[in-house]
Chain A
Amino acid sequence: MLHYLDAKRPAPQPTRRTFLKLSAGALGGLLIGAVIPQKGLADTASGALATPFVHITPDNRVIVLSKHLDKGQGTATGLATLVAEELDAAADQVEVEFAPSNPELYKNFLFGLQGTGGSTAMANSFDQYRQAGAVVRAMIVAAAASEWGVPTGDITITNGVVSGGGNLATLGELSALAAAQEPPAEVTLKSPEDWVYIGKGFPRVELPMKTRGSVGLFGMDAQPEGGLVAVTARPPRFGATLASVDATAALALDGVEAVLEIPQGVVVVATNTWTAMQGREALVLDWVAGSGETRGTDALLDEFRAALDAPGLPSHPRGDASAKLAQAAQVIEAEYVFPYLAHAPMEPLDMTVLYDGQSATFWGGSQIQTLDHGTAAAVLGLDFPQITINTRWGGGSFGRRATPDGHLAAETAMIGKAWLDAGNAARPIKLVYSREDDIRGGYYRPMAVHRVRAGLDAEGNISGWEHRIVSQSIFTGTSFESFVVQDGVDHSTVEGISDTTYAIPDMHVDVHHPKVGVPTLWWRSVGHTHTAYVMETMMDELAVAAGRDPVEFRLAHLAEDARLAGVLHLAAEKAGPTGPEGTHRGIAVHKSFNSYVAEIADVRIRDDGTVKVEKVTCGVDCGVPINPDNINAQIEGGLGYGLSAILREEITMVDGEVAQWNYPDYTPLRIADMPEVEVHIVRSDAAPTGIGEPGTPPIGPAVANAVFRATGTRVRELPFTRHGLA
């Protein structure tokens, strides 16, 4: 998500008046060797060396302040790796804390505000966090040199131990002296051949906490003293309005403290989560008949399909596709249907607020802190500095914790305000989503319908391509619209198609963006979730029609994209000629978030006709591989997430009401369906690019292409459960 933003806009002024217009950053690029801002150097009373990005404490801990949310993608460890590399810290002395909300210091250069997404974290921080490590290293070196009376050139740091002139010290022992040094005007970063961590490995910093149930790790675990819990009864249909509420029974429950009406719904505040949920059950709610979105997904699908017959808004048209198709030796035509999808991260949404009328403190897995901060400021009528945001580890997100409208922060702030306005004394209140609230709460990957006509010439090469997509725009109406929506076309709907690097000189892509009252959002890999599926299953159909090998056919059309061809070669070579006995093979290759991933799926059809993906062999090029094991983990997880969706996930609506409730009927992948995954990484010295999302797009088409080989069926309507395949 958000990867479309360029870096040429003015810097944001984070006040509540302007937060909605926030735009991408002022720093038009990253200068190797330039110095990070040193404003905010803490006083030295504690004996700690404290810069905005790194603290070294007297007890010899190196604390890296992560400006990005880590919701499982390993970013915190990635940033720790960069700092430790330049500082020459020992891996086991490095910890990570989340930075406060401060866009001036901690903005994501690609968005111009503090936020995480679009698989941008490493790309955006690679230089900045190495510089941050190099700055504190230089200060430690200067401190050691002056303390020991030896030239700085004689000081070395190895694995957290500082030595020179026969003296030894830990980083912590030198922290107070280092804090008194002038930060260097310039630093020189290590050469890649001197790296000891980057490209080699660094253990995840938080795993001891995540394997021992540590206190207060996640937003859901925030329990400030005296805290209460809130749950909200939201409308049964998106946009429906409340006619009346009878809260008598709810208020009669022991432990229910208040029932509050806010624009989002009716809120029950109680002394614990269970009682709040019981209170919500006890509410008698009447919603205005016919209000909100009343169309079901069947009706929407009919409308979307009807729209396929009319020309849409063009996206990068080139050549003359219709003429080429008229002359083609063969034309393949296909229609695809993709359902709405929920993110369903394991930690349901939550956020805690303590608001006293003058200031507010928030706790939660905030993914775009600046937007959450600005939204809260607007709701509460406070200025930016009166609000503190404590970011916690995120229990998964897949896009869900990053919302352009900051709806979770807004709702939490509304509850804090309504509580106070009702005459109560300020207390921390945690807004908790149940799983049902999550599954039924919207912000879905939009439903999409595609129609494609693709032609082959007499030599079996692609001659022309016409492609129409009907799908809601994710970005229109958000603060990111101007970056992503051009001439009415939301680029996130066509990414991976109209910007394909396959040699298709005559291509016409157009789109319709119907207006539907269902909130939509980026979902791990955004538009690529459906566009890669269509492109890569079509490429397979075309290869079959041309009588060509699917790898060779793709490579023949990838002369202009050596990196995409490279990962396909790599995966094909590593997968060998055939998969495990009884399996059928499908391949797909796709670029997203500037990373290149090929996936080769070996698939078995079980006796009951369902699909078991036995093994997936992957080729990955994400530039400099900062932490190879985390790349493996993200590819494993990314393809598992994508496989989950194509097998069984769909959100449907009946007369506007979501039909699914919880994991029993919105059914993610379980252990028995997880394939063995083998990841091969291209050794690259290109700038690092994202890895959280690019593993997701290729798995669907790779499996679908294998299913075609096994059964002769082309799956063009997802999920696979619709065809008895899952």
Chain B
Amino acid sequence: MQLTINGEPREIDANPDMPLLWVLRDELKMTGTKFGCGVASCGACTVHINGEATRSCQALIGDLEGATVTTIEAIDTPAARAIQTAWVELQVPQCGYCQSGQIMSASALLTETPKPTDDDIDAAMEGNLCRCATYARIRRAIHRAAEIMEA
């Protein structure tokens, strides 16, 4: 399979049924994208595929011929930079294990909807679990990132 990962063309030689999550983590040694559930229920594995926030545990590598994949290690959109800044400013992460996925989902939200409401945030972030319950700060930090982007 040929695809573009974080701006670089990659030739992947793996079982086509292997989810992108494990290609990233185990084959390419890019461990920023996390395994939390393997069943699209926690969002820890969220990456952008062709710009859309996607659960990489459900995206089979065989279906990704020609796709463009961006992961936490390289995401550098204006929205992502604002999100990462706000995340540190508001000291969002606790254990941090969910936060790659939170940041990928929040970045996609802000790119689509630069001034999200609380309901927009609930809808976009619903699929991202945080067992440390940093949710109140995630919400504040998304609003804060929207401000940063506006400035």
Contacts and interface: CB of A to CB of B under 8 A. Distances in A.
Interface string B36-71: 111101101000000000000000000000000001
Contact of B93 (A211, A272, A672, A676): A211
A211 B84 contact: yes
Interface of A: 71-74, 203-204, 206-218, 220-221, 223, 229, 254, 271-275, 277, 344-348, 393-398, 434-435, 629, 633, 636-641, 643-644, 662-664, 668-672, 674-677
Nearest to B101: A346
B131 A633 contact: no
- Dominant SS among interface residues on chain B: loop
Given A216-B31, A664-B39, A677-B136, 10 more contacts: A73-B94, A212-B73, A220-B31, A272-B22, A272-B26, A272-B27, A274-B18, A435-B39, A636-B136, A671-B125
A214 B125 contact: no
B22 A346 contact: no
Contacts of B79: none
B4 to A, nearest CB: 18
B14 to A, nearest CB: 9
A396 B34 CA distance: 13
Contact of A663 (B39, B91, B95): B39
Interface of B: 15, 18-19, 22, 25-27, 29-39, 41-42, 44, 71-73, 84, 87-88, 91-100, 103, 121-122, 125-126, 128-139
A649 to B, nearest CB: 11
Q: Is the contact region of chain A dominated by helix, strand, or loop, or is it mixed? A: loop
Contacts of B135: 640, 669-671, 674
Given A211-B84, A254-B15, A346 B129 contact: yes
A663 B136 contact: no
Contacts of B138: 671
Contacts of A393: 95-96
Nearest to B42: A663
Contacts of B18: 272, 274-275
A532 B29 CA distance: 45
B95 A72 contact: yes
B118 to A, nearest CB: 9
B96 A636 contact: no
A-B residue pairs, 4 tightest by C-beta: A213-B32, A640-B133, A72-B95, A395-B97
A346 B132 contact: yes
Nearest to A274: B22
B33 A203 contact: no
A254 B38 CA distance: 21
Contacts of B95: 71-72, 345-347, 393-397
B89 to A, nearest CB: 9
B106 to A, nearest CB: 11
Nearest to B93: A210
Contacts of B71: 213
25 contacts: A73-B94, A203-B88, A206-B96, A207-B87, A207-B92, A207-B96, A208-B88, A210-B99, A211-B93, A211-B103, A213-B31, A215-B31, A218-B31, A272-B22, A274-B22, A275-B18, A345-B97, A346-B44, A396-B94, A397-B95, A633-B137, A671-B139, A674-B133, A674-B139, A676-B136
A633 B94 contact: yes
A345 B130 CA distance: 9
Given A204-B93, A393-B96, A668 B131 contact: yes
Nearest to B18: A274
A275 B18 CA distance: 8
A206 B31 CA distance: 16
B75 to A, nearest CB: 9
A395 B42 CA distance: 14
A220 B34 contact: yes
B7 to A, nearest CB: 15
Contacts of A644: 133
A328 B48 CA distance: 66
A259 B139 CA distance: 46
Contact of B137 (A211, A636, A672): A636
